[in-house]
Amino acid sequence: MYTVKEAAGILKMSEHTIRYYTDCGLIPSLTRDKNKQRLFNQESMNWLKGIKILKECGMTIKEKKSYVSLSLQGDSTIEERYQIFLHLKEIAYSQLEEAKDRVNFLENKVKHYEDIVSERISDDTNPKKWSGSEEA
């Protein structure tokens, strides 16, 4: 069993976030000790890990609650949960392509600035130095 602090360290989440998720009812297997302190077994840790990933996918608290509810209903909701993950996968692939575009843009900018810093080309990044610009 893990405390909130231990779970936070293991999952690289804040203690506040873990408490918030438990207060929202997103961790159905949560238990408490005699002092009402939250305790997490492996199943609870799996829920936390899954909820963390769903958050990273952009899922709202309401959507996560719906997913937890569907999961607890069992096999009758497998198709619906499958569709949720197909949709999330599409979003993740789209985000991946956008991230690749950003990395490519940044690589080109870094190369350009390296050429300027090493004096292979003159600084053409300042609009004041662009040809045709007027002095203010």
Q: Give the pair of three-digit tokens for residue 3.
A: 């405390």
Give the model's pLDDT for residue 42: 93
Nearest-angstrom CA–CA distance, 130 and 124: 7
Higher pLDDT, 129 or 119: 119
Give the model's pLDDT for residue 135: 53
Higher pLDDT, 136 or 64: 64
- DSSP code of 127? G
Q: Is 34 exposed, middle or buried (0-12, 13-18, 19+ CB in 10 A)?
A: exposed
- What angle is formed at CA 116 by the lines to CA 112 and CA 121, rounded to 5 degrees? 95
Q: What's the whole-number average pLDDT of the chain?
A: 91
On the question of pLDDT at 14 being above 90, the answer is: yes
On the question of pLDDT at 136 being above 70, the answer is: no
pLDDT-based confidence at residue 132 (cuts at 50, 70, 90) = low
